[in-house]
Amino acid sequence: MNDVSDDGTSLARGAWQRLLAHRSARWALPVIGLLVLVAIFGPILVGSKGIQQLDVVALKNAPPSRAHPFGTDEVSRDVFARVIAGARVSLAISTIAAALSMTLGTAYGMIAGYFGGRIDTIMMRILDACLSIPRVMILIAVLALWNPELPGVVILLGATGWFGLSRLVRAETLAARRIEYVDAARALGASDLRVLWRHLLPNVIAPVVVTSTLAVGNVIALEAGLSFLGVGVHPPTPTWGTIFFEGASSFAGAWWIAFFPGVAIVATVLAFNVLGDALRDVLDPRSALPERR
C-alpha cells in the first residue's frame, strides 16, 4: 500500500517538475498566479471604488491619468477599481462553473462507460440530444426568460458545459475498465462505487484536468459575450464582461472603458489555454516514460 502511495506521490512530483520546466507554462503560471492574487486582495484594496461615483460632471469619461490609471466611465466610476473588483467575480464565475462542469461530465461519462449496454446507449442518446443544440443558444434563451441573479448564471454556465467532457471520460472509462486490476477488484468483492472511485477515476483524471483548465478560459470569454449581449451578470456587479459592455457603445470617444477589461479578458483566456496545452503535454503518459536510447 505504501509503495502505491509513494508511486503516486513521485508521479505527481514528476508531473509538477515537468510543468515548471515547460516553456509555455513558465509565463502562463505567473500570469494566472498574479490574477489570483488580484482577485483575492484587489477588491480589499480598492474597497467600494468600483461602484462609487466620483464626480459625474467633472470626471465623466475622464481619460487615463495619474489619479485614475484606467480613466473613468460615463458615470465617473474609476475603471481601474472596476477591473480589479471584476477580476474576483469573473474568476469566481469561471472557476466554479468549470468545477461544476467537471463534476457532472466526469460522473456522467464514467457511469455510461462503466456499466455499458442499455444504460450507455440511453445516456449517449440523451447526450447527443444535448449536443445538437448550441450552448450559446441555450444560455441566451434561458437567461433571457429566467433573468437569474449571479448564482443562477454560474449554475447555468456549469450545467451546460460538460457535454463534450462526458464523451471523453466515457471513452477513457471504456478503455480503463478492461485493465486486469479492475477485474481483480471486482473478483475480490469491491462495489461498483469503489471501483469507479478508487480504480477508474485515477485513470481518467488527467484529461479531465486538462479540459477543465481550458474550460476556465472558455467560461470567461462566454460570460463576457453574454454580458455584451445584455443577458449576463446584472449591473452594478462589476465583471470584465459588464465593464466591456458598458464601454463598447462609447469606444470612439472613451476607448479606455472597454480597452482595459478587454485586455484582461484576452490575457486571462490566453493564459488558461496555454496552461491547458502545457498540462496536456505534461500529463501525456508517454511523457512520463524514460527515453529510449
3-state secondary structure 160-225: CCCHHHHHHHHHHHHHHCCCHHHHHHHHCCCCHHHHHHHHHHHHHHHHHHHHHHHHHHHHHHHHHH
pTM, two decimal places: 0.83
Residue 128, pLDDT score: 92
Residue 237, pLDDT score: 82
Return the bridge partners of 72, or none.
78
Return the bridge partners of 78, or none.
72
Residue 11, pLDDT score: 59
State which CATH number among 3.50.50.60, 2.60.40.1250, 2.60.120.200, 1.10.3720.10 fits the domain covering 19-49+70-288: 1.10.3720.10
The backbone torsions φ and ψ at residue 285, rounded to the nearest 5 degrees and listed phi first, read: -55, -30
Length in residues, the chain: 293
Q: Enumerate residue ranges in the chain where pLDDT < 70.
A: 1-12, 50, 284-293
Task: Tell me the residue type at 280.
Answer: R
Give the number of C-alpha atoms closer than 13 A to the C-alpha of residue 63, restricted to the C-beta side: 3
Residue 2, pLDDT score: 45
Between CA 76 and CA 149 the distance in angstroms is 25
Cβ–Cβ < 8 Å for 166, 108? yes
Residue 280, pLDDT score: 83
Residue 10, pLDDT score: 61
Cβ–Cβ < 8 Å for 256, 79? yes
Residue 235: count of CB within 10 angstroms of its CB: 14
